[in-house]
Amino acid sequence: VLMYTDKIEIVSPGGLPLGVSKEEYLKGYVSVLRNPTLGNVFFRLKYVEIFGTGVRRILEAYRNADVKPNFAISDNAVMVTLPSVEYQIPLDVDEQAVLEVFAANLVLASSDVSAITGFSRAKTIRLLNSLVEKNKLVKGGKGRGTKYSLT
């Protein structure tokens, strides 16, 4: 467990338990207690009321928040990033202008954002990457198929 000013990262080595798909995990359908000691500590501290509801409860806690949790799942680890709903990473004027383009929950390519904002291609990509790093946007696809959307 790593704690920062703007987020908490929880890393579980070993990936998902056998037989649990990424989709099932992200929807909170299946749960296997991987670390009984840590689970017991959280239970005793009353941070959890019941085992096996963590993902669903995380998603519910962030349902109306501007920031959303991130679940990075690989074969070797699961990392959950819980951004602070109180701490807001400051955005500069250009980042705010780019973010406003996505206000209608659009999914756009960098060329679309560049055309709307009037920024150069290089500046637009730099701003989009900065917003992805700050968990304001999600990047999907690769190469010419790369699209961006709100988190």
- What confidence tens digit (pLDDT) does each residue in 32-74 have? 777 788 878 888 888 776 666 778 888 888 888 878 899 898 8
Domain 2-83 has CATH 3.30.565.60: yes
Give residue 118's pLDDT band: very low, low, confident or very high (50, 70, 90): very high
Contacting residues for 43 by C-beta, under 8 A, at least 6 apart: 49, 51
106, 135 contact by CB (below 8 A): no
pTM of the model: 0.54
93-150 is classed in which CATH architecture? Orthogonal Bundle (1.10)
- The angle that helices 121-133 and 93-101 make with each other, rounded to 10 degrees, is 90
What are the Cα distances from residue 123, in Å, to 69, 92, 107?
27, 13, 19
Lowest mean pLDDT of 68-77, 84-93, 137-146, name the range: 84-93
In this predicted structure, what is the pLDDT of residue 93? Answer: 95
27, 99 contact by CB (below 8 A): no
For the chain, where do the domains classified as CATH 1.10.10.10 start and end? 93-150
